[in-house]
Amino acid sequence: MKKLTVTLILLVGAYALTGCSVQFSTANIGNAQLCKAVSDKYEAIDPTTSFTATDKEFHCLVRINNAPDDTKLRARWIAVNAPGMEANEKLVETDLPAAGGRHADFRLTAKNGLPPGAYKVEIYLNPQEGKAEPPAKTLDFSIKS
């Protein structure tokens, strides 16, 4: 047991010396869904994963649970495969605070709609600048003509 304790202390000390930071949070994404609009009570109106080329507003409604005051959410809207756009082209990225546990309404507005194709929105929980990390949640959707 003493050997295990010494080993753990050495590992923690070595990790601390590397200058790495560890972030622990109780925050988690309870639910995320795409929809055409959001009510005043943060309810999805017309939930869908298939939009039309004439739709001009797209919503990703995210419910976050157990979020400490410094919790942030990020949504990155991406054109996976659509004519006139590069593969996996980032359309827009938005950060919102998510303190206390609530809903976040991420919106993508396309004045002239979007071309038919495959798209996705990636949701990040407490993203760290300059650090490549996988999204906490990814929602795929399509645009039909």
pLDDT at 73: 94
Which is higher by pLDDT, 4 or 86? 86
Question: Which domains are assigned to the chain?
Answer: 27-144 (2.60.40.10)
User: What is the structure's pLDDT at 101?
Assistant: 63
**Strand (E) positions, 56-133?**
57-65, 72-81, 89-97, 103-109, 117-125
What is the pLDDT at residue 24?
55
The predicted structure's pLDDT at residue 20: 43
pLDDT tens figures, 14-65:
334 334 444 456 788 989 999 999 999 999 999 999 999 999 999 999 999 8
Is 26 strand, coil or helix?
Answer: coil
Q: What's the pTM value of the predicted model, to 2 decimals?
A: 0.80
CA 37 to chain CA mean position, Å:
18
What does the pLDDT read at residue 21? 42
The alpha carbon torsion through 135, 90, 34, 63 (nearest 10 deg) reads 40
The pair of three-digit structure tokens given for residue 72, joined into one six-digit string: 């942030």
**What is the C-alpha separation between 40 and 76, in angstroms, rounded?**
24
pLDDT at 102: 81
Q: Which ranges in 37-104 belong to alpha helices (H)?
A: none
User: How is residue 64 annotated by DSSP?
Assistant: E
Beta-carbon contacts of residue 79 (< 8 Å; ≥ 6 apart):
85, 86, 88, 89, 91, 114, 117, 118, 119
Instruction: Report the distance separating Cα 74 and Cα 95, nearest Å.
Output: 4
Q: Is the pLDDT of residue 125 over 80?
A: yes
Helix (H, G, I), strand (E, B) or coil at 38: strand
Give residue-wise pLDDT tens across range 72-114.
Answer: 999 999 999 999 999 999 999 999 987 666 889 999 999 999 9
